[in-house]
């Protein structure tokens, strides 16, 4: 899904760490990196629904920080 978004010009990150071309282990490490900043580990179960929703939108070239959206805007869960 991240690769598909990337091919459409949408760059997905978690707290500045790119997820484009990242292995599953690197994606998990990026989620754990949030603990150093926020004091709470970000779960893939929290970010995946938002990523799915973003992949269904008609977006053009942009950078989206999935970690920031998930942590700072918890109200998105109500719309998924």
pLDDT in tens, 21-79: 999 999 999 888 887 887 777 888 888 888 998 899 998 899 999 988 888 876 665 65
- Report the first-to-last Cα separation within the chain, whole angstroms: 17
d(CA 79, CA 22): 28
Please report, for residues 17, 36, 37, 39, 46, the alpha-carbon distance to residue 49 in angstroms, rounded to integers and kept in the order given. 19, 23, 22, 22, 7
């Amino acid at each position: 899904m991240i690769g598909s978004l990337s091919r459409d010009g949408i760059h997905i990150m978690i707290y500045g760490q790119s997820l484009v071309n990242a292995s599953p282990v690197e994606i998990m490490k990026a989620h754990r990196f949030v603990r150093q900043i926020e004091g709470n580990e970000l779960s893939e179960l929290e970010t995946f629904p938002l990523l799915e929703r973003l992949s269904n939108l008609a977006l053009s070239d942009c950078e989206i920080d999935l970690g920031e959206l998930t942590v700072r805007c918890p109200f998105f869960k109500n719309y998924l």
